[in-house]
Structure 1
Amino acid sequence: MLCCRMTEPTQEQVDQLTRAFELFTRRFKVAEAAAAADNALNALDAQTLVFIGDNPGCGIGDVARYLNVAMTTMSSAIDRLVRKDLVERGRPEEDRRSAALTATGAGRQAIEDHIAAYREACRMMLRSLDPKEQRELIRLTEKISRSGS
């Protein structure tokens, strides 16, 4: 069985990748901001809404843990989303003290807009590469996303 040996990157490589990722993430932030602007959402609210859309019936604590934010911060985000009629708070029968969060119809549309903008940013980035490079970028990005560090 072949095993690849991990090598420590040079400072120059780290600096190059840092600059590349700054530009890379800026494109995603711009795309995300454009989609969120249509719904007047900040980045936290947009990510909160996407999580709730993917996990209907989840609780505030579930979202806070996933996004790694304080409960008070998450409560404020949920309040904003409820006021904008993007999220509904329900009361589960088994625990009337907790809230079960679900996206409203308008919330689901906002999620679709957010995902469409994100996909368009990916499409734009992939367009700048030839097919072999596209496959390699996807392969490497998936490898990095699966690694624990």
Structure 2
Amino acid sequence: MLTAKQTPEQCAVEIVSVVPQVVRFLRSQMRQGDASLSLSQLRVLNYLKRCPQASLTDVSEYLDVTRATMSATIERLVQRGLVERIEDPQERRRVLLSLTPTGEQQLQQVLQRTRSQVAQKLDNFSDEQLQQLLQGLWLLRQAFEETDI
């Protein structure tokens, strides 16, 4: 419950409590969206959407897995026609990764279904509550904005 004066520590307690619940919900919805893709594969597709022509190292570091693990994941996505490897014109030994149109389409379908489920959760919020929520999310984004992506 909100009190007259909030401290950063009180906000931190709420963020650490609520964010994992939201993430669990999002993950469960994304898994339901396309049972043929693992959550890790969806995270790779989402990363490549935001960072086209990323290297294997970029993706493995972002997802905090080994290069060998990421290489196997990428290989499966390439075989399914969702990701393509492109030789870096500047550095022949470096391979760049990008979504294919099929990969983009599958990712968009999963994200749209997930967004619809989130919207249903928010359906009973008033306009004022939705404004407050958006303002809070904007503030969180500002506080945690990733500068390297």
- TM class by shorter chain equals 0.7 to 0.9
TM-score by length of 1: 0.78
CA shift in 2, pair 1:116/1:16, >3 Å: closer
Structure 1 position 7, deviation (Å) = 4.6
What's the CA shift string for 1:29-67, capped at 9, x where partnerless?
Answer: 222112232xx1111110101211232222111212222
Runs of 4+ in 1 over 6 A off after TM superposition: none
Percent identity over the alignment is 23
What's the CA shift string for 1:85-139, capped at 9, x where partnerless?
Answer: 1111111222121111121221111111122123213312221311111111121
Match of 1:94 in 2: 90
Q: Any gaps of 5 or more consecutive residues in structure 2?
A: 145-149
Q: Which residue identity is paired with 1:99?
A: V
Match of 1:113 in 2: 109
Task: Write the distance in 2 (CA, Å) between the matches of 1:75 and 1:103.
Answer: 15
Count of residues paired in the alignment:
141
Match of 1:80 in 2: 76
State the SS of the aligned residue for 1:101. Answer: strand
Task: Write the distance in 2 (CA, Å) between the matches of 1:55 and 1:69.
Answer: 17
Q: How do 1:1-149 residues align onto structure 2 when only pairs under 5 Å count? A: 6-9=7-10, 14=13, 18=17, 20-37=18-35, 40-148=36-144
Structure 1 position 22, deviation (Å) = 4.8
Conservation of the 8 A alpha-carbon contact between 1:33 and 1:43: yes
